[in-house]
Amino acid sequence: MSVPEPVLIRLKDAVGEKGLSTDRSEIAPHLEEWRGKYHGHSPILLKPDSAAQVSAALRICHETGTAVVPQGGNTGLVGGQIPFNGEVLLSTRRLNKVRSIDESGMTMTVEAGVTLAEVQHQAAERHLMFPLSLASEGSCSIGGNIATNAGGTHVLRYGMTRALVLGLEVVLPDGTVLDMLRALAKDNSGYDLKQVFIGSEGTLGVITAATLKLFPRPDSSVTALAAVPSPTDAVKLLGAMQAQTGGMLSAFELMPRIALEFVTRHIEGTRDPLDAPSPWYVLIEASGGRHANLEASFEDGLAAAVTAGLVSDAVVASSATQAAALWKLRESISEAQKREGASIKHDIAVPVAAIPAFLAKATQAVCAIVLGARPVNFGHLGDGNIHFNFNAPGAGNDPGFLAQWDEVQQAVHDIVKEFGGSISAEHGIGVMKVGSLPHYKSHEELDAMRALKTTFDPKNILNPGKVIPPVLRL
């Protein structure tokens, strides 16, 4: 797809000299996601610095039928942010202002290009907290987090991104600006339109700003790593520790032994904190006020779990430095997997109680397809979201292994459906899963999604080919 010169001139007038680039070297970093799975191409990079500029640019694109792909920090994992057919690329990185912070109301209004780490920092400066936490928080943008309804490690306590958004400013494909930046916990004045755009992956509108919900920063927190014999024991431990802490768990992360081995092998400054290896581990965190006796609750709960045979060993962090070291083991798994070689990844969710049975059945199915595949299944056990990943059997097997991605993915997703789960828990649909969606979502749901798309984007110029599958009756 090429952009006619008259359209290019109009777009440059809309966003200014600094707001448009045709420099291939500047555009190139925006055309590949960090794993290298997806590669795109685009002749133009738009870099608006205000909602007004986004509106002007989209109005031109709507009039001329020019397709646009919005992009935040380019940290997505399903290709939703990549232009595959020469679409205009619209980056929100220059929309980077913190517009306001209300400490008493515990809200913050920021533009879409502000990084998640900066939102966290601004909240912490005021002894507040924005609880969304991701491995990519230094580079991902809040607009991208909202557009994909990002999850992360603290969903157990605080919910997905959609639970943290009070208001939005969105520019529709025709340039219309929807100002919904209301800092209200209660607003029943009609349809909650902001929820339509949260998780829509840039297919319905471009998010330009958001009002976010903040929380008091916890005065105390406890982090522990516990060795467990099996996922079944991990699920039982989850219930026991929730009861022991009065529902104050903020994270409960499952890790297999192989993940710990990958991390300690490839990531500098990491080590196994326990004396003996275990098939599985859980990283547990709870937080609360200064008078909450969380450490005693943790120790009592873990001691009872050891007596019950749910835990074989555990270490409770005695300082912030030790807690950070334990978290580094969990947060480094993806990077360690990358260094270990090719991997096939799935971002799935099943009911928490079904996780042990799902892991057993789906792991057996994948290993029957790829002999010697190494399962590295980890993630957010507390909310049912497992990153169901497999590394290639060994060095030199990468091309043949990756060639089996589609076969493996369908086998896994079919089993996910059996367990009443979702083929995308927190990464989205993008281009990776759009072809699979009709197998796992009802015709009625898909038709409703298409109706929304047609209403907001009748010319299909905004992120075409993503999220919404073509009509297909199976």
Query: Would you place residue 37 in the very low, low, confident or very high pLDDT band (cuts 50, 70, 90)?
Result: confident
Same domain, residue pair 191 and 212? yes
CB 193 within 8 A of CB 180: yes
What tens digit of pLDDT does each residue of 136-149 get?
Answer: 999 999 999 999 99
- Residue 234 in this model has a pLDDT that exceeds 80: yes
What tens digit of pLDDT does each residue of 119-128 get?
Answer: 999 999 999 9
For residue 468, tell me if it sits in a domain.
Answer: no
pLDDT (0 to 100) of residue 64: 97
Q: What is the mean pLDDT of residues 17-22?
A: 96
Same domain, residue pair 360 and 257? no
CATH number, position 393:
3.30.70.2740
pLDDT (0 to 100) of residue 394: 81
- Residue 2 in this model has a pLDDT that exceeds 80: no
- Residue ending a domain, among 369, 390, 418, is 418
CATH number, position 82:
3.30.43.10
What tens digit of pLDDT does each residue of 157-209 get?
Answer: 999 999 999 999 999 999 999 999 999 999 999 999 999 999 999 999 999 99
- Residue 322 in this model has a pLDDT that exceeds 60: yes
For residue 86, tell me if it sits in a domain.
Answer: yes
Domains of the chain: total: 4
For residue 444, tell me if it sits in a domain.
Answer: no
| Parallel/antiparallel/unpaired status of strands 88-91 and 45-46 | parallel
pLDDT (0 to 100) of residue 398: 86
Same domain, residue pair 237 and 323? yes
Same domain, residue pair 227 and 308? yes
pLDDT (0 to 100) of residue 85: 95
Same domain, residue pair 75 and 102? no
- The alpha carbon dihedral of 298, 303, 309, 311 has a sign of positive
**Amino acid at site 220:** S
**Residues spanned by the domain of 11:** 5-91
From residue 388, give the alpha-carbon distance in Å to each of 81, 132, 186, 305, 436.
22, 22, 37, 26, 17
Same domain, residue pair 67 and 159? no
pLDDT (0 to 100) of residue 1: 65
Cβ within 8 Å of residue 40, ≥6 positions away: 31, 32, 69, 82, 83, 84
- Residue 473 in this model has a pLDDT that exceeds 70: no
Cβ within 8 Å of residue 185, ≥6 positions away: 166, 213
pLDDT (0 to 100) of residue 470: 84
Same domain, residue pair 301 and 377? no
- Residue 411 in this model has a pLDDT that exceeds 70: yes
Q: What is the mean pLDDT of residues 298-323?
A: 96
Query: Would you place residue 474 in the very low, low, confident or very high pLDDT band (cuts 50, 70, 90)?
Result: very low
- Residue 303 in this model has a pLDDT that exceeds 80: yes
For residue 152, tell me if it sits in a domain.
Answer: yes
Same domain, residue pair 245 and 286? yes
For residue 198, tell me if it sits in a domain.
Answer: yes
Same domain, residue pair 208 and 250? no
Same domain, residue pair 323 and 238? yes
- H or E stretch at 431: none
- Residue 290 in this model has a pLDDT that exceeds 90: no
- The alpha carbon dihedral of 463, 465, 468, 470 has a sign of positive
CATH number, position 156:
3.30.465.10
- Residue ending a domain, among 216, 236, 263, is 216
CB 46 within 8 A of CB 90: yes
For residue 433, tell me if it sits in a domain.
Answer: no
For residue 457, tell me if it sits in a domain.
Answer: no
- Residue ending a domain, among 157, 188, 216, is 216
For residue 42, tell me if it sits in a domain.
Answer: yes
Distance CA 37, CA 452 (A): 30
Q: Is 175 left (phi over 0), alpha (psi -120 to 50) or beta?
A: left
Same domain, residue pair 140 and 87? no
Q: What is the mean pLDDT of residues 106-112?
A: 98
pLDDT (0 to 100) of residue 50: 98
- Residue 257 in this model has a pLDDT that exceeds 90: yes
Share of the chain above pLDDT 90, in %: 92
Q: What is the mean pLDDT of residues 68-86?
A: 96
pLDDT (0 to 100) of residue 472: 53
- Range 255-259 contact pairs with CB under 8 angstroms and sequence separation of 24 or more: 255/280, 255/281, 255/282, 255/283, 255/329, 255/330, 255/333, 255/378, 256/280, 256/281, 256/375, 256/376, 256/377, 256/378, 257/281, 258/374, 258/375, 258/376, 259/333, 259/336, 259/337, 259/376, 259/378
pLDDT (0 to 100) of residue 360: 98
Q: Closest Cα partner for 213 from 301, 293, 296, 146?
A: 146
Same domain, residue pair 203 and 286? no
Q: For 116-167, where are the alpha helices, taking DSSP H only?
A: 116-124, 142-147, 155-158
pLDDT (0 to 100) of residue 35: 76
